[in-house]
Amino acid sequence: MKILLVDDSRTIRNIQKNTLASMGHTDILEAADGLLALEVLSKETPDLILVDWNMPNMDGITLVKKIRETDKRIPIMMRTTEAEKSRVIEAIKAGVNNYVVKPFTAETLSEKIDQTLAKVGAAG
């Protein structure tokens, strides 16, 4: 399974890559903001996108809206802080399939990923 990780922090991307690797996911694409993510998406088709909310150039919610203009199906998970939790409805309206509140454990992330794929019928 190919996963696109979108986060402006290289450190966070590396931590999450390690977490995903521990779950057996090693086919990871990365982008540092929404604009760069769209660039990646013009060439690649990941099975899941993990998006951070706050990023420079293009934030997570704008990225989700852009993706949904052309792709209704690709599973998208938003990573939010506790403070952004109240905006989850907005994210879901924009087309996010699921969200995970930071900080989270590898176990929580794994559960949320399974849940997301099951929801969109892409599991297994």
Least distance between Mg ion and beta carbon 82 (Å): 14
Nearer to Mg ion, 50 or 117 (CB): 50
Least distance between Mg ion and beta carbon 67 (Å): 18
Nearer to Mg ion, 54 or 110 (CB): 54
Nearer to Mg ion, 52 or 84 (CB): 52
Rounded to whole angstroms, the Cα distance separating 88 from 91 reads: 5
In the complex, the residues that contact Mg ion under the rule CB under 5 A are 8, 52, 54
Least distance between Mg ion and beta carbon 20 (Å): 17
Rounded to whole angstroms, the Cα distance separating 52 from 12 reads: 10
Rounded to whole angstroms, the Cα distance separating 20 from 3 reads: 9
Nearer to Mg ion, 58 or 117 (CB): 58
Whether the upstream peptide bond of residue 103 has omega within 30° of 0, thus cis, is yes
Stated as kind and residue range, the H or E segment containing 6 is strand 2-6
Instruction: Tell me if residue 3 falls in helix, strand or coil.
Output: strand
Least distance between Mg ion and beta carbon 115 (Å): 23
